[in-house]
Amino acid sequence: MQFILVSTTLMVLLTIGTGIFMIYKNVEGNRKTLKKILRTNLYVFLPILVAAIITLVPGAINAETTGSAAPSGLGFLAAALSTGLATVGAGYAVAVVGSSALGAVSEDSSILGKTLIFVGLAEGIAIYGLIVSILILGRL
C-alpha cells in the first residue's frame, strides 16, 4: 500500500518536474509541443495521485479505537478540507474582487461603500467553510 502511494507520488513529481525543466531549458522541440505534453501529464498523473491517496490513505487515517465509539479520521479530514478549500476559494475571490474594486474606486470614489460590500461577500465564503467544519466536528 505504501509502496504504491510513494511510487505514484514520485512518478507524478518527476514527470511534472521533467516537463518544467524541458520548457525552461528549451530542450529539443518547440515550447508549444512541450507545453502540450506537460498539460497532458498534469491531466493524467495528478488524478492518478489523487485516486491513490483517496483509496490508500483512509486505512492509515482512521483513529485507533479505545472505547466503543471513537471519532473517524475521515471526519477530521473532511472538516479540514472544508475549511481549507473554502479559505483558498475566499482568498481567490477577495483577490479578484479587491483588485476590481480598487480600479473602480480609482475611477469614482463615491462607490467605495458598494465595493466594500462585495469584498465582504467574498470573505464570507471562508466563514461558510468554517461553519461546515464546525458542524462536521459536532457530529463526530
For the record, the C-alpha cell of 32 comes out as 508549444
Would you give the distance in Å from CA 42 to the centre of its chain?
A: 15
Closest CA relative to residue 77, chosen from 91, 92, 57: 57
Q: pLDDT tens, 83-135?
A: 999 999 999 999 999 999 999 999 988 999 888 898 888 888 889 989 999 99
Dump pLDDT digits (tens) for 124-139.
888 998 999 999 888 8
CA pair distance 135, 2, nearest whole angstrom? 32
How confident is the model over 29-48, as pLDDT tens digits?
666 776 776 777 777 777 77
CA distance 81 to 100: 28
- If you count them, how many residues does the chain have? 140
